[in-house]
Amino acid sequence: MTVLSAAISSWFTTRNWTIHPHQQVMLGRADHPATLLIAPTGGGKTMAGFLPTLAELADGNHQGLHTLYISPLKALAADIKRNLRTPVDEMSLPIRIDDRTGDTPQSRKKRQRADPPHILLTTPESLALLISYPDAARTFAGLQRVVVDEIHALAESKRGDQLMLALARLQTLCPNLRRVGLSATVDDPQAIAQFLARHPDPCEVLQADPGPTPDIQMLQSTEAPPWAGGGAAYSIPAVMEQIKAHNTTLIFHNTRAQAEIFFHNLWLANDDALPIGIHHGSLDRDQRNRIEAAMVRGDLRAIVCTGSLDLGLDWGDVDLVIQIGAPKNVKRLVQRIGRANHSYNTPSKALLVPANRFEVLECRAALEAVRQGDLDGEPRGPGPRDVLCQHILITACAGPFEANDLFAEMITAGAYATLTRPEFDACLGFCATGGYALQAYDKWQRLLQLPDGCWQLRDPRASQRIRMNLGTIQDSDTLKVRLKRSRGGKPLGEIEEAFAASLTPGDTFLIGGQTVRYEGLREMTVEVTRRSGKRPKIATFTGTKFATSTQLNARILALLQQGNWLNLPDHTSSWLTLQQQVSQLPEPGRLLIESFPHQSRPHLCIYGFAGRNAQQTLGLLLTKRMEEMGLDPLGFVATDYATMIWGLKTVNDPAPLFELAALRDGLDSWLGENAVMKRSFRACATIAGLIERNSPTARKSGRQATFSSDILYDTLRKYDPDHLLLQITRTEALRGLVDFGRIEEMIDRIGPRIDLRHLPAITPLAAPLLLEMGKVPIKGAAMEKLLQQEAADLMQKSGLSSLPD
Amino acid sequence: MTLASRRKIGNLNTMSGFDFFLSSARLTALGSGALHWPDQNLLCISDLHLGKSERQARRGGPALPPYETRDTLARLAADLQDTQATTVICLGDSFDDDAAAGALPQAEQDTITHLTTDRRWIWISGNHDPAPLNLAGEQHRDITIGPLTFRHIAQPQAQSEVSGHYHPKARLRSTSRPAFLVDGHRLILPAYGTYTGGLRSTDPALTALMGPRARAILTGPHPVPIPMPR
């Protein structure tokens, strides 16, 4: 039982604070191997994590690192450092605190390794780097505790897997290491506890008082939401009213592009010149820091943001959270709301703003679910093996290792507890030689086994390359954006290469809320000048796509079942009424398919309500079937509730398309060629170390040196179909993006009950899909026909076709 | 990022190609990226970059799947089968570097030997593989056959020239494909090797070389010409 020292107790007294019950319990359990605390933001969660550390360090006898604090965000690490310094200094405790992230200058990083502070605040990636150094044992000598903040967020991604493997290594270096996890509300606390603990240690779950039920409403606005899109520009007058009525409002968006557009439009309506900022992952770091600092000072009335601010920075003045666009799943909504009004005893306040008419339904369903405490969630699945491969390489950077020892260490990470030895050996083989059926690299293999059985890097210089490519975050290729000056203008942020490639000098786009004019590309940097007035293009950012959960979709279908929609706003109920008049509404237990011509092409709309990922897969599988049946599909687009396919031929009998046996039979070959698998492969191959994003030599202009990962994928499929990376890709794609399970569930549920309606034109329910981004082209016979046609047109128009060949 | 996947045309049975003239030579751009000159029974391919995976491993990079040489040669064998060409010109950068030529696995070396047998095989030296090769066939910096001159890198003032080096690609609709670039003076071949990337035709290096009425012939199942995107 750790007792609070006099210095700490009296500090609490002078502040008129009483220690929270859960903070007291955490102190009491400070010597337990693992504890998970679930508490809302503002519940003193962070202090609960740190109090045992402060208590143990108070007498000043501990040398070197004592506590490691991990958060998913660099901003959070910096924020906590700021927040901790205040009480530590006021209590006059002899404690050194420092943070270490990608933003930390090299000089400070070097000093930290040589002479670590007592408390180090860092991110999973920076920790992975730290354990890759041969002197890691010295750096971490004396480590007692590790606090993982926002562990619910980390547990959802590969960053969490990488972190837990790193902790397994730390536990080998420091066998008495104690672990604490700090989490927001989740649907399955036991799963997070098992994720945190050293397997098979026990981990107690401590639930703090969740506080009063949140106050969530849908925004009342006189303007109607549009048909499609995620911008919600219509809601700006109403949002401005809310901002004026509160201290600090956070306005969350599902994508960066939407945040930019909204911020731009909000400022156009900002007649009172209220201080409003913008914050997202592609903005320049200094800009983000300035916004965060302004928030802490209480200088901002509103911040337009994305998930970049999703995690619990302790911002006292935030008293309203506005969610623009449907929240996609209830758990995420509840977690976001947990941030508003961190004064513990008043209810958190939130407003949902549907971005289009369909989202009105989604938001309504989400509200019901929150009121019933019905959180949605998916089981986690075993730890991904591409992260495992990267961890083997990281371990190799630190020095020679024994395979048996490393295996034993890795399976202490909960997610990898069920890893088999052959699976581990396959990953080791991949890291060493590439793991190819064709043994080709004996001379140049990356890892060598020494006579004593230990493995090590063949070339020590390879550790530089491995460290440069460390991490699991998959950003798409981005280019930095700078103001054009004679030498190095101000950096504004980043845009994606694909977007940059679409720009010609003179085009304008939004970044950081301002309109800039594209001047050109210089040394892989986009140069711009400030230009207002012209209507800007919108930069797109491919981020993670959350799918509407099964539970939410089921609720939406049930809502549609209600004959009258008095409860829904007029603009939505009239849209649904029109749909019912023109066609019909989807029903649970049946599959509605509409067929209509649009812009002289036959269209087919399938209302599966299976979530974005499954609807996307359905699009791929169905177009494949259509291709085989000579129906000439051209492309499709998917949303959370429907898939729309267009082509050259009308589909009159859809039933054969949905034969599950046929769909299942061909799944492998269909999966094999589709873009989803290739995208998954690219991510897995990058994490596992086959594709290097960063290399020691400078990036060459012209890009002849690099080639698409699709070529590697195709080559492996052709010559080495059982290769480890293809296995990993398949597992991952099936689980996440492909979501074939939901398609099976849908087809089993509907049985033969397919309703095909032929309409003369596009229907109200289908129309929004046309406005969706992310149309997938089908490169089949139809595409070739059109390519031929378009090529002929171009040649004709340019007069080149009349040239003698 | 382009998602141009290289079509493995190795199984092509029908001779699909696009016919055009350069100077007085009647040529066919094959969908595989090879150039066929029926009147000379000649096949020309460029930038094979054989041995790329071995070179990368040798220089400390990750081990790429070691199948690109086999795959490139398989496609070449198929094109030779389809065209029955008796003269072959490899237009430079046939190997990823000089060492790669010597480091080819025995099976691949045997394949090359087999392909070069009973054919006139011409290796043009490139910037990646400038040194003399220890392989069957003739080696030249450049060669003139009939009205055409073959070299690795285009010379700005040249006429009736066939070259490679730039790995050109062109975009139509949302598809980007390796492409032949041709105008009244010259032809630039796309890269034939499996592990090769491409340079957009809009790049200044290419727009400077090709005249205003240049066309790009996209590779693929059915080669199509378009005005070269600039």
Count other Cβ atoms within 10 Å, centred on residue A793.
12
CA–CA min distance A539, chain B (Å): 15
Residue A383 class from Cβ within 10 Å (0-12 exposed, 13-18 middle, 19+ buried)? buried
Give the gap in angstroms from C-alpha A695 to the nearest C-alpha of chain B. 9
Distance from CA of A255 to the nearest CA of B (A): 20
Cα(A435)–Cα(A429) distance, rounded to whole angstroms? Answer: 5
**Which of chain B's residues have a Cβ under 8 Å away from the Cβ of A777?**
173-175
A800/B contact by beta carbon, under 8 A: yes
> What's the confidence (pLDDT) of residue B33?
95
Run of H or E including A341: none
pLDDT tier at B5, thresholds 50, 70, 90: very low
- Does A715 sit within 8 Å of B63, measured CB to CB? no
Q: What is the mean pLDDT of residues A560-568?
A: 68
Enclosing H/E stretch for A130: helix A124-131
A289 vs A146 pLDDT, higher one:
A146
Strands (E), A385-507: 447-449, 455-457, 478-483, 491-496
Q: Which of A461, A715, A726 to mutate to test the interface with B (most CBs of B within 10 A)?
A: A715
pLDDT at B13 over 50: no
First to last CA, chain A: 90
Distance CA A129, CA A797 (A): 57
Distance CA A358, CA A560 (A): 11
Question: Within the 635-694 window of chain A, which residues sit less than 8 Å (CB to CB) from chain B?
Answer: 675, 678, 689-692
Checking if the pLDDT of A197 tops 90, the result is yes
pLDDT in tens, A584-602: 999 888 899 999 998 889 9
Please report residues of B whose CB lies closer than 8 A to that of A702.
Answer: 199, 203, 205
Contacts of A189 (CB under 8 A, 6+ apart): A36, A38, A183, A205, A207
Residue A697: its pLDDT value, please?
65
Kindly report the nearest CA distance between residue A779 and chain B, in angstroms: 9
Residues of B in contact with A705 (CB under 8 A): 197
Q: Rounded to whole angstroms, how far apart are CA atoms A756 and A595?
A: 7
Alpha helices for chain B (secondary structure H): 52-58, 68-83, 98-103, 106-116, 204-209
Please indicate whether, in this complex, the C-beta atoms of B196 and A445 are within 8 angstroms of each other.
no
Q: Out of A465, A706, A715, name the one closest to residue B71 (CB).
A: A715
The b-or-e profile of A584-595 (16+ CB within 10 A means b, else e) is ebbeeebbbbbb
Q: Is the pLDDT of residue A406 over 80?
A: yes
Minimum CA–CA partner of B169 in chain A: A704
Q: What is the pLDDT, as a whole number, of residue B9? A: 36
pTM of the entire structure? 0.79
Q: What residues of chain B lie within 8 A of the CB of A791, using their CB?
A: 172, 218, 224-226
Question: Per residue in A752-769, pLDDT tens?
Answer: 899 999 999 888 888 888
Token pair belonging to A627: 């291709």
pLDDT at A726: 94
Rounded to two decimals, the ipTM of the complex is: 0.86
Asked whether residue A711 carries a pLDDT value surpassing 50, the answer given is: yes
Q: How many CB atoms lie within 10 A of CB A211?
A: 20
Whether A787 has its CB under 8 Å from any CB of chain B: the answer is yes
- Flag if B215 and A705 touch (Cβ within 8 Å): no
CA nearest to A439 within chain B? B66
Residue B85's pLDDT band, with cuts at 50, 70 and 90, is very high
Q: Minimal CA–CA distance to A349: which of A358, A336, A362?
A: A336
Predicted confidence band of residue A497 (pLDDT cuts 50, 70, 90):
low
Categorize the per-residue pLDDT at A569 as very low, low, confident or very high, splitting at 50, 70 and 90: confident
| Per-residue model confidence (pLDDT) at position A317 | 75
In this prediction, residue A788 has a pLDDT band, given cuts at 50, 70 and 90, of confident
Place of tokens 């679930």: A38
Q: Is A581 exposed, middle or buried (0-12, 13-18, 19+ CB in 10 A)?
A: exposed
Among A51-55, A121-125, A701-705, which range has the highest average pLDDT?
A: A121-125
How far is A189 from A207, CA to CA, in rounded Å? 9
pLDDT (0 to 100) of residue A702: 32
**Which residues are CB-neighbours of A591 under 8 A, at least 6 positions away?**
A606, A607, A608, A658, A746, A750, A753, A754, A755
Q: Which of chain A's residues have a Cβ under 8 Å away from the Cβ of B225?
A: 791, 795, 800
Which residues 60-89 of A are in CB contact (within 8 Å) with B?
Answer: none
A712 to chain B: which residues are within 8 Å by CB? Answer: 64-65
Instruction: Report the alpha-carbon distance of residue A795 to residue A784 in Å, rounded.
Output: 16
Which residues in chain A touch residue B65, judged by CB atoms under 8 angstroms apart? 434, 436, 712, 715-716, 719-720, 723
pLDDT tens per residue across span B93-107: 999 888 888 888 889
Q: Which of A193-202, A291-300, A701-710 has the lowest mean pLDDT?
A: A701-710
Which of A711, A717, A720, A779 would you mutate first to test chain B, the one with the most B CBs within 10 A?
Answer: A711
Asked if the C-beta of A723 comes within 8 angstroms of chain B's C-beta atoms, the answer is: yes
Instruction: State residue B73's pLDDT score.
Output: 95
Cis peptide before B147 (omega within 30 of 0): no
Q: What is the pLDDT of residue B8?
A: 38
How far, in Å, CA of B34 to CA of B87, rounded? Answer: 13
Q: What are phi and psi of A750, to 5 degrees?
A: -80, -20
* A window 462-521, beta carbon within 8 A of B: 462, 465, 476-477, 497-498
Q: How far apart are CA A556 and CA A641, in angstroms?
A: 10
Position A701 scores a pLDDT of: 36
Question: Which band of pLDDT confidence, cut at 50, 70 and 90, is reported for residue B10?
Answer: very low
Please give the residue that has the higher pLDDT: either A423 or A344.
Answer: A423
Please answer yes or no on whether B71 and A718 come within 8 Å at the CB atom.
yes
Rounded Cα–Cα distance for residues A343 and B21 (Å): 79
Q: Are A615 and A584 in contact (CB under 8 A)?
A: no
pLDDT in tens, B135-176: 888 999 999 999 999 999 999 999 999 999 999 999 876 678
Share of residues in chain A with pLDDT > 90 (%): 32
Asked if B222 and B163 count as a contact pair (C-beta separation under 8 A), the reply is no
A714 touching chain B per CB within 8 A = yes
Dihedral in degrees, nearest 10, Cα atoms A385, A390, A391, A395: 140
Is A710 an 8 Å CB contact of chain B?
yes
Collect all residues of chain A within an 8 Å Cβ-Cβ radius of residue B166.
704
**Predicted local distance difference test score (pLDDT) of residue A654:** 86
For residue B135, give the amino acid letter.
L
Q: Is the pLDDT of residue A277 over 80?
A: yes
Region at A86 (left for phi over 0; alpha for psi -120 to 50; beta for the rest): alpha
For residue A722, pLDDT over 90 is answered with: yes
Output B136 or A231, whichever has higher pLDDT.
B136
CA distance A713 to chain B (A): 9
Q: pLDDT band at residue A479, thresholds of 50, 70 and 90? A: confident
Q: Which of B6, B65, B224 sits opposite A788 (nearest CB)?
A: B224
Q: For residue A800, which residues of chain B lie inside 8 Å, CB to CB?
A: 213, 215, 225, 227
Across A33-42, A202-211, A262-271, A775-784, least confident range: A775-784
- pLDDT of the residue at A70: 94
User: Above 60 in pLDDT, residue A113?
Assistant: yes
A498 vs B1, B62, B220: nearest CB: B1
**Which residues 417-446 of chain A have a CB within 8 Å of chain B?**
433-434, 436, 438, 440-441, 443-446
Compute the nearest-CA separation of B133 from chain A (Å): 22
Stretch A274-294: mean pLDDT, rounded? Answer: 86
> B23, B67, B175: best mutation site toward chain A, by most A Cβ within 10 Å?
B67
- A272 at the B interface (CB within 8 A)? no
Predicted pLDDT at A463: 92
Is the predicted pLDDT of residue A339 greater than 70, yes or no?
no
Average pLDDT, stretch A388-407? 96
Which ranges in A197-298 belong to alpha helices (H)? 236-245, 256-268, 285-297
Confidence of residue A348 (pLDDT cuts 50, 70, 90): confident
> Which tens digit of pLDDT belongs to each residue from B37-58?
999 999 999 999 999 888 888 8
Asked if residue B194 lies in contact with residue B71, where contact means CB atoms within 8 angstroms, the answer is yes
Q: Which residues of A8-30 are buried (b: 16+ CB within 10 A; e: fewer)?
A: beebbeeeeeebbebbebbbebb
> Given A675, A787, A805, which is nearest B224 (Cβ)?
A787
d(CA B138, CA A335): 71
Q: Using the beta-carbon criterion (under 8 Å), do A704 and B19 form an inter-chain contact?
A: no
One-letter amino acid for residue B196 of the chain? T
Taking 60 as the threshold, does the pLDDT of residue A659 lie above it?
A: yes
Count Cβ–Cβ pairs < 8 Å, chain A vs chain B.
145
Least confident of A128-142, A224-238, A790-804: A790-804
